Structures are given as C-alpha cells and as structure tokens.
C-alpha cells in the first residue's frame, strides 16, 4: 500500500510540475478554423447536433463528425431531415435523410432533427426529432428519438414515455447497451404561448443493444423536471440544452437561467432532481446551449447570446472565455449550438448556424 501511495505522490508531483493538473483547456487552443459546410444537396440548413463517430462500421468512419440539420432549404425550423458526416480533413458526405413517411415506428409530428445526436460504438446512431409543419412553435409536436443503423437507415423509434420535444442528448456507451440522457422542452411550452414554464425535463433511457439485433428501450426514468422553458419566435424553443456526463454527474446547460446545473448519480438515481444543483450562474454564462466535458474534466459551454465559448470547473470557477462565432454575426445571435471534443483532446468541434459550417478550435 505504501508503495502505491508513493507512486501516486510521485505522479501527482510530476503533473503539478508540468502544469497538467490545473491547466485550463482553452489556454491550450489558439486557432479557430472552418472544416466544412454542413449543407447537403437537399439544402437543409441550421446545423444543431454534433457527435464524433467512435468506430468504423458501415458508412461510419471513426473520428469523423456527424452533424444534424434542424431546418429545411426554406429555413423553416423543425423541418430538417438530414445528417451529414464530415471527415477531419473537411470532406462532407450525406449520412442519412430521414423521411417521416418511412419511419419504422411512431414519431408524433414527423421529422425535425434537433441537437440531440449520439453515435454509439455498436454502430447505431440516435437522433432527436422536434417537428413542426411550418417552422413555428404553434405547430410543434412531441416528436421522438430515431435510431439509425450504420448505413443511415432508420430501424426504430422511441416515442412517448416522457419524450416530448427532445432537444439535446448524451450517452453512457457500454457497447452492448447504452444509457441515454435527453432534455425535453415541450412540456407545456406551446400552450403557454411564450411564457416561461418550469417543466423542462431530463429523461434517462436505458437502451438494450442485442448482438445482431435492433436496440430497444428497457426503461424510462425522469431524473429532472423543473427547468425553465418557453417558445421563442427566433429559436423556436428555449430550454435546457447541452448535456454531458462527468464522474457520474450529469451537467445541464440551463439556457434561460444562464447557468450550469448538476444532477448527481445520474446513471443510478431513481428520484427527480428538479432543476438540479447550480454549478455556476451568470458572469460569462449568457444563454448557454451546447455543453461538453473537456479532457481536463472542465465543463465547456457555448453562449447563444454573444458567441463565446466558456470553460467552467466542476466546482463552478469560470476560468476561460474565447470568442467562437466564425460567422461574425456580431452578438452571437444563437449561432453556436452543438459541440464535441475531437479524439485525444486535439480540439473541440463546434457547429455555426450563422454560416452553416462545422468548425474546430485547436
């Protein structure tokens, strides 16, 4: 035991000497560049979800980035049907076009792909749908989660059981199973007609992935249900968005309250955490949307209000801010949505819906 303690102490001393223990991620990245457009041949725009492919299988290539589009070519929100795949070198190809009429299961309202997007080691991809018929919140419907195989074909849908406007998603991926965490933003928002409703939720779904079979939900549990949410003419819906797991805790970007919330023991808890525990609020956080965990364990978010990327420690200290709006929209204007870290922590991928691009800060 003493040998182990000494070895740990030596490793810690070396880490401190090298500055690795308390070094912010944003202090290690210096260049923001555009990798590729995210507009496929059908003209879909408004890139939202970002997911790095973990393994090569079928049409999926390890290390490439999947991006979901929320708007169609007429720029109507909640009508986008495509997911594109972008290589680190900038080659963009179509991974999936999802037609509402050919879905293998229920999806109330049809298809309007959101920020909710994960790519699993098994080769399956799960994407959220919050559909509209005309791009307005008045026609928004509950939608569903759509499960695609490694060739981009829809093989199953998950609907009901608390899925109501799936807005963002993260996953604990075990290979033969996965635990999905999904924010939902239509719990009373349409009827409230723009007023804030305190019912934004986080749903945990245990997904069984049989070898050679189709994934299926084994259980649904609401682990949070009191986040603020409202409809918005510019953003369609504003509510809890980015999600990421760190050390068993689920971190949530609480957009309306300019804060990061924490839900402890997210994988195992059976009770409702309300709107979670506040990790940080205000200061550099201004309408945070996308959220991811950096290689050093810090929480990285992007602001809708001003185009900034912000780094916050799990204890709530904000220790890094960078401008990340490559479309130079001036005030950000909600151009930044999903983000994901590149393999080996070589940078962070960000979509920008101001100019429909995938970008990397490294």
pLDDT, one tens digit per residue, over 311-329 is 999 999 999 999 999 887 6
What pLDDT sits at residue 344?
85
What is the Cα–Cα distance from 173 to 302, expressed in whole angstroms?
24
Summarised one tens digit per residue, pLDDT across range 295-314 is 999 999 999 999 999 999 99
- 342 vs 2, residue with greater confidence: 342
Over range 220-244, report the average pLDDT: 96
Q: Pick the range with the lowest mean pLDDT from 133-142, 208-217, 321-330.
A: 321-330
pTM listed for this prediction: 0.93
Q: Using one digit for the tens of pLDDT, what is the confidence trace for 68-88?
A: 999 999 999 999 999 999 999
Q: Judge whether residue 19 has pLDDT over 50.
A: no
Predicted pLDDT at 107: 98
For the domain bounded by 32-361, which CATH number is listed? 2.120.10.30
Overall average pLDDT of the 185-203 stretch: 97
Q: Assign 21 a pLDDT band (cuts: 50, 70, 90).
A: low
Tell me the C-alpha distance between 93 and 327, whole Å.
22
Phi, psi of 361 (to 5 degrees): -110, 115
pLDDT tier, 235 (very low <50, low <70, confident <90, very high otherwise): confident
């Amino acid at each position: 035991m003493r040998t182990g303690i000494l070895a740990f102490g030596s490793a810690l001393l070396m880490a401190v000497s090298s500055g690795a223990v308390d070094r912010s991620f944003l202090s290690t990245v210096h260049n923001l560049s555009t990798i590729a457009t995210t507009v496929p041949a059908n003209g879909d725009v408004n890139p939202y979800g970002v997911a790095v492919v973990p393994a090569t299988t079928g049409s999926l290539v390890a290390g490439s980035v999947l991006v979901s589009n929320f708007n169609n070519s007429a720029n109507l929100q909640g009508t986008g049907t495509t997911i594109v795949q972008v290589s680190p070198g900038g080659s963009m190809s179509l991974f999936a076009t999802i037609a509402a009429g050919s879905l293998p299961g229920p999806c109330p309202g049809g298809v309007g792909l959101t920020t909710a997007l994960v790519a699993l080691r098994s080769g399956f991809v799960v994407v959220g749908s919050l559909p509209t018929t005309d791009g307005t919140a008045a026609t928004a419907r509950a939608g569903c989660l759509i499960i695609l195989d490694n060739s981009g074909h829809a093989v199953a849908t998950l609907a009901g059981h608390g899925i109501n406007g799936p807005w963002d998603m993260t996953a604990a991926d075990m290979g033969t199973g996965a635990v999905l965490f999904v924010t939902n933003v239509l719990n009373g928002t349409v009827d409230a007609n723009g007023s804030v409703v305190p019912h934004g939720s986080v749903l945990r779904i245990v997904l069984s992935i049989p070898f050679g079979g189709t994934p299926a939900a084994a259980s649904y549990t609401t682990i949070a249900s009191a986040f603020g949410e409202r409809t918005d003419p510019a953003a369609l819906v504003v509510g809890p968005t980015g999600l990421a797991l760190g050390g068993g805790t689920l971190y949530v970007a609480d957009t309306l309250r300019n804060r990061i919330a924490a839900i402890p023991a997210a994988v195992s808890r059976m009770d409702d955490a309300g709107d979670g525990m506040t990790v940080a609020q205000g200061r550099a956080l201004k309408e945070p949307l996308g959220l991811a965990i950096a290689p050093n364990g810090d929480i990285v978010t992007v602001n809708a209000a001003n185009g900034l990327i912000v780094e916050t420690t799990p204890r709530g200290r904000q220790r890094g801010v960078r401008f990340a709006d490559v479309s130079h929209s001036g005030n950000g204007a909600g151009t930044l949505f999903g983000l994901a870290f590149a393999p080996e922590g070589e940078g962070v991928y960000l979509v920008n819906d101001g100019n429909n691009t995938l970008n990397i800060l490294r």
